[in-house]
């Protein structure tokens, strides 16, 4: 079992709809969870971080964390074509400096 | 300001060349990272420096040699690379030592080994 798993996609969503990206992790002592967006040929850019169970909202983005189910998700409301990118889920354990990435989900927003 | 800078943006080198990649941050971060990313794959951790000391080496071949001259600078020295080492090399930094550590990435150096 991979430490961090994501559906590689591609995930295709119409413009204006909600895009839902999912990630599961295997290590129960994981403490910090991150979503990065990566455009083709560019470096990863932090979108959201979440550390506690529940929802965290920032503009059109909402991160959801459920530690009991070892599940973290990212919702993008009112999806725009500029949201088309690969979204990387990353997990960090307490005391560990190692950020473990999922394989990434490729998201395409169709106008 | 969450800027990490990397130079050069692109690098082409032969298998016998010696070159260096440079990374710089002025956020007062005390942890710096090198990642390697191949096409359509996630970043893979190579090295971590914490308070200017090498804390993690992910069994990287010795043809890659990291150096942290001070808390703002991180270098990656390259020697006798192979074509399969062609990739995007990413530098990142974080505050250092805390539980809730966010890593901020630089733009990367795209390396081609001929």
In this predicted model, what pLDDT tens digit does every residue of A12-70 receive, in sequence order?
999 999 999 999 999 888 889 999 999 999 999 999 999 999 999 999 999 999 999 99
Q: Is the pLDDT of residue B97 over 80?
A: no
Residues in chain B within 8 Å Cβ distance of A42: 107-108
Q: CA-CA distance, B35 to A98, in Å (whole number)?
A: 11
A93, A30 contact by CB (below 8 A)? yes
pLDDT digits (tens, 9 = 90+) for B3-14: 999 999 999 999
Residues in chain A within 8 Å Cβ distance of B109: none
DSSP letter at A82? Answer: G
Q: What are phi and psi of A79, to 5 degrees?
A: -55, 140
Is B42 an 8 Å CB contact of chain A? yes
Q: CA-CA distance, B72 to A42, in Å (whole number)?
A: 22
Residues in chain B within 8 Å Cβ distance of A101: 42-43
Q: CA-CA distance, A47 to A55, in Å (whole number)?
A: 14
Instruction: Report pLDDT for A27.
Output: 87
């Amino acid at each position: 079992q991979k430490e961090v798993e994501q559906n590689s996609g591609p995930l295709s969503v119409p413009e204006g709809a909600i895009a839902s990206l999912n990630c599961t992790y295997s290590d129960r002592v994981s403490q910090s969870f991150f979503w990065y967006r990566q455009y083709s040929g560019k470096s990863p850019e932090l979108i959201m971080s979440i550390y506690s169970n529940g929802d965290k909202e920032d503009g059109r983005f909402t991160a959801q964390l459920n530690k009991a189910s070892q599940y973290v998700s990212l919702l993008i409301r009112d999806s725009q074509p500029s949201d088309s990118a690969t979204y990387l889920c990353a997990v960090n354990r307490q005391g560990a400096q190692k950020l473990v990435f999922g394989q990434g989900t490729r998201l395409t927003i169709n106008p | 300001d969450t800027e990490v800078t990397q130079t050069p943006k692109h690098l082409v080198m032969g298998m016998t060349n010696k070159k260096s990649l440079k990374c710089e941050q002025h956020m007062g971060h005390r942890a710096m990272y090198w990642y390697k990313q191949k096409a359509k794959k996630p970043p893979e951790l190579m090295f971590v420096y914490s308070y200017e000391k090498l804390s993690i080496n992910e069994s990287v071949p010795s043809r890659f040699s990291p150096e942290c001259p001070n808390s703002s600078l991180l270098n990656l020295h390259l020697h006798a690379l192979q074509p399969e080492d062609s990739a995007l090399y990413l530098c990142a930094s974080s505050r250092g030592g805390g539980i809730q550590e966010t890593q901020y990435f630089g733009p990367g150096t795209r390396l081609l080994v001929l």
